[in-house]
Amino acid sequence: MTITPLFISGCNFHNETGQRGPKPFPAVSVPAMLSGQDAAEYAAEHFWNRYFDSTASWAGISDTLIGGVRQEDMTAAVREYLLALWSIPYDRAFKAQTHLMTLAETSLERDTSGHIYDWFTATMESALWNPLSELRNEGLYIPVIESILRTRRTGEHYSTYYQQQLTTCRNNSPGTPAADFTFTDAKGHPHSLYGTPGEYTLLLFSNPGCPACRGIISLLKDSPMINSMVRDGRMTLLSIYIDEDVAEWFKGLSDYPEEWITGYNQDLTIRDQLVYDVRAIPSLYLLDRDKKVLFKDISPNMLMLQLERL
């Protein structure tokens, strides 16, 4: 997947030296004594230090350079960084994101145009908030929104927009207890989320007849790892329909494996009261034994990577 950043273009200015061409992205240097998870966490938390140190000599706006580095190299660096965040515990990834936005805010002191800062916030929004992004992660987008609101670089209209984003991101965010809800199965029996068993619960919001839903259902039911976890009782796969056309839901029941729990949210609170702010269907949540959110609206590919680490 390619992350397509949204950036603020402007007039072509040059850096202070004038004679230098684009510079390579200054990669993080991990101390030799670190390895494995320690090295990954260090790399994520220090990923941008050298870059922002290097932008101190940059003074201007460019259509093709971000702080003196080619835009395509910056985009590749963002992807590498986000993949690094996905490889470490959420609390450490959140800390790294907070550190990045602190560096970006500090850059505003010398880059009064805000070109670098605006590129970062727009690129992070594209990668972490867009429901079609493979790397989407609302929890890791929170430090970005908080920074945008703190710097007041948007007008009142956009401030409201980002406040709404923040509310959505904080709803059932990683590390918090998932909101309970009731659902009805095909036999008319009532159930609740917290009444479902399993060391892990994979919660899928899906619609009948939805091509993307069928694609995810096929991927999940063909996964040896998921099938093994379901068979061993480690995972409960719960598929929930959140709209009102129950007749259509019944027609699509054959799409779901018998081992899964399927139901519909009869009182429509998930949709109408935003108990879960489902921005796009399908949507996957991974919960632990206590129904704490491990991953929210995680993409199928990233889910498979995370399951390998359980």
pLDDT tens for each residue of 272-302: 999 999 999 999 999 999 999 999 999 999 9
Residue 244: count of CB within 10 angstroms of its CB: 14
Q: What is the number of domains present in the chain?
A: 2
What's the mean pLDDT in 109-121? 91
**Gap between the Cα atoms of 54 and 239, Å rounded:** 49
- What pLDDT shows up at residue 106? 94
What's the mean pLDDT in 219-245? 96
* Rg from Cα positions in the chain: 22
- What pLDDT shows up at residue 184? 98
Indicate whether 82 and 195 sit together in one domain: no
What's at 113, amino acid-wise?
S
Indicate whether 109 and 230 sit together in one domain: no
**DSSP code at position 127:** I
Q: What is the CATH number of the domain that holds 189?
A: 3.40.30.10
Inter-residue contact 175 to 293 (CB < 8 Å): yes
Q: Is residue 260 scored above 70 in pLDDT?
A: yes
Indicate whether 161 and 186 sit together in one domain: no
What's at 36, amino acid-wise?
G
**Boundary residue ending a domain (100, 135, 170):** 170
- What pLDDT shows up at residue 305? 94
Q: Report yes or no on 22 lying in a domain.
A: no
- pLDDT band at residue 17 under the 50/70/90 scheme: very low
Inter-residue contact 179 to 172 (CB < 8 Å): yes
Q: Report yes or no on 1 lying in a domain.
A: no
Indicate whether 139 and 63 sit together in one domain: yes
Q: Is residue 64 scored above 90 in pLDDT?
A: no
Q: Is residue 6 scored above 50 in pLDDT?
A: no
Inter-residue contact 207 to 241 (CB < 8 Å): yes
**Gap between the Cα atoms of 160 and 1, Å rounded:** 30
- What pLDDT shows up at residue 110? 86
Q: Where are the alpha helices (DSSP H) in 200-298?
A: 211-221, 224-231, 246-251, 269-272
Output the average pLDDT for the chain: 91
Q: Is residue 54 scored above 90 in pLDDT?
A: no
Q: Report yes or no on 233 lying in a domain.
A: yes
Placement of tokens 């990045």 in the chain: 100
What count of Cα atoms within 13 Å lies in the side-chain half-sphere of residue 43?
24
Q: Report yes or no on 291 lying in a domain.
A: yes
Residue 28: count of CB within 10 angstroms of its CB: 19
> Reduced to 3 DSSP states, what percent helix, strand and coil does the chain have, rounded to the nearest 5?
45, 10, 40
Q: Note the maximum CA span of the chain.
A: 74
- What pLDDT shows up at residue 7? 26
**Boundary residue ending a domain (116, 139, 170):** 170
Give the least confident one: 84-98, 108-122, 200-214: 108-122
Residue 258: count of CB within 10 angstroms of its CB: 6
- What pLDDT shows up at residue 61? 64
Indicate whether 166 and 118 sit together in one domain: yes
The per-residue pLDDT for range 152-182, each reduced to its tens digit, is 887 777 899 999 999 999 999 999 999 999 9
The per-residue pLDDT for range 124-133, each reduced to its tens digit, is 999 999 999 9
| Structural domain harbouring 78 | 36-170
Q: Is residue 88 scored above 90 in pLDDT?
A: yes
Provide the token pair at 23.
């510079």
